[in-house]
């Protein structure tokens, strides 16, 4: 690969949600503040929604890594499961012991007993579901019923949903109105603006060990932002490809040429067509037609006569 060429310790633009590469973007920082505030105040349901590739899984792992020791977490990365499977996953994550795990009544009772015990030990239980838009409606309802477990003073369980915009569409259905009303905090992740993208690229290169001068020109960052629409995952794909191209060319600076080549090789990346040559040609034709009309009317001759002594 190109690590030695650029003096890197590791690849800076991989698609793995590695928290060591976490960049303190405004959107992610605000989302973390919302999450920690909601958990500190003891809210039941919390929701974070973002488009594909905006960094929800990275944010999810960042949250799990930074929760204090008094938090007990259950992380469910693939919630496309039946209600029985969902309860089983929660039980395993919380290390719930039950004689017959297939008996749903006994399993639910065992989960409740575990939550009560953890509460007595001053522990806060948080279930984190990534890709929550994949939850079947029946499993969403099971999740709501599990969240009913509480004491007179506090919830025994806090649930954080990370999902794509389809999660909002699912929760908007009438059958989920009870769950929807229980979402006390929500946050919508936004894509990066161009300044954030420039900082994001520089940050990841620095974490990967780069110590040289700025590698990406201003024009290349502008094109990358247009092509990626500020989506971190797509920006990573494009940046990885442009570094491969520079390595192949023996270059150390990323310019528009490499970006355009990477965009052409990336299905979801697009750039607006370069219309300036057609605009210039159209302008020339229009001006020529106007001058021809002015000449026919005698206006141009009059102007020339006044300008020439």
In the predicted structure, residue 161 carries a pLDDT above the cut 70: yes
For residues 282 and 170, which has the higher predicted lDDT (pLDDT)?
170
Query: Residue 304's pLDDT band (boundaries 50, 70, 90)?
Result: low
pLDDT tens for each residue of 225-244 = 999 999 999 999 999 999 99
- Residue 6 CB contacts under 8 Å (≥ 6 apart), including other chains: 210, 212, 215, 243, 247, 252
Residue 10: Cβ within 10 Å count: 13
Q: Which residue has the higher pLDDT, 272 or 30?
A: 30
Residue 166 has pLDDT above 90, yes or no: yes
Are 142 and 135 within 8 A, CB to CB? no
Per-residue pLDDT, averaged over 158-185, amounts to 93
Average pLDDT over the chain, rounded to an integer: 87
Question: What is the pTM assigned to this prediction?
Answer: 0.82
Mean pLDDT of 173-179: 92
Closest CA to 16 of 238, 232, 254: 232
Domains of the chain, earliest start first: 3-17+192-264 (1.10.8.60), 26-188 (3.40.50.300), 276-307 (no CATH)
Q: Tell me, what's the pLDDT at 279?
A: 45
pLDDT of residue 50: 95
What does the pLDDT read at residue 128? 95
Alpha helices of the chain — where are they, by DSSP H? Answer: 3-6, 26-40, 56-66, 83-93, 104-120, 137-146, 166-171, 177-181, 194-207, 218-228, 232-249, 256-264, 276-297, 299-307
Averaged pLDDT, 161-178: 94
CA dihedral 258, 263, 264, 270 (to 10 degrees): -140
pLDDT digit string (tens) for 2-11? 999 999 999 9
66: helix, coil or strand?
helix
Tens digits of per-residue pLDDT, 79-93?
Answer: 899 999 999 999 999
pLDDT for the residue numbered 148: 81
> Which of these, 174, 183, 220, 188, lies nearest to 201 by C-alpha position?
220
Helix axes 83-93, 137-146, angle to 10 degrees: 40
Share of the chain above pLDDT 70, in %: 87
CA quadruple 60, 65, 66, 67: dihedral, nearest 10: 90
The predicted-structure confidence for 83-127, as pLDDT tens digits, reads as follows 999 999 999 999 988 878 788 888 888 898 899 899 889 999 999
């Amino acid at each position: 690969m190109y690590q030695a060429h650029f003096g890197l310790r590791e690849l800076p633009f991989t698609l793995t949600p590695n928290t060591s590469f976490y960049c303190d973007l405004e959107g992610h920082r605000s989302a973390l503040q919302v999450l920690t505030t909601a958990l500190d105040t003891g809210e039941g349901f919390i929701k974070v929604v973002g488009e594909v590739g905006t960094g929800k899984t990275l944010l999810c792992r960042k949250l799990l890594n930074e929760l204090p020791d008094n938090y007990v977490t259950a992380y469910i990365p693939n919630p496309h499961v039946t209600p029985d499977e969902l309860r089983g996953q929660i039980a395993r994550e919380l290390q719930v012991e039950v004689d017959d795990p297939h008996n749903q009544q006994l399993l639910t009772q065992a989960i409740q007993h575990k939550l009560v015990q953890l509460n007595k030990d001053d522990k806060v239980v948080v279930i984190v579901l990534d890709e929550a838009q994949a939850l079947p409606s029946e499993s969403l309802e099971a999740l709501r019923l599990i969240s009913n477990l509480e004491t007179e003073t506090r919830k025994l369980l806090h649930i954080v949903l990370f999902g794509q915009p389809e999660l909002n569409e699912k929760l908007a259905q009438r059958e989920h109105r009870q769950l929807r009303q229980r979402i006390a905090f929500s946050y919508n992740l936004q894509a990066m603006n161009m300044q954030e993208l420039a900082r994001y690229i520089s940050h990841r290169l620095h974490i990967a060990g780069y110590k040289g001068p700025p590698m990406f020109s201003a024009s290349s960052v502008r094109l990358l932002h247009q092509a990626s629409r500020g989506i971190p995952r797509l920006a990573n794909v494009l940046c990885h490809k442009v570094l491969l191209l520079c390595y192949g060319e023996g270059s150390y600076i990323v310019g528009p040429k490499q970006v355009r080549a990477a965009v052409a090789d990336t299905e979801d990346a697009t750039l607006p067509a370069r219309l300036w040559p057609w605009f210039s040609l159209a302008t020339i034709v229009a001006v020529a037609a106007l001058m021809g009309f002015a000449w026919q009317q005698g206006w141009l001759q009059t102007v020339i006569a006044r300008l020439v002594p």
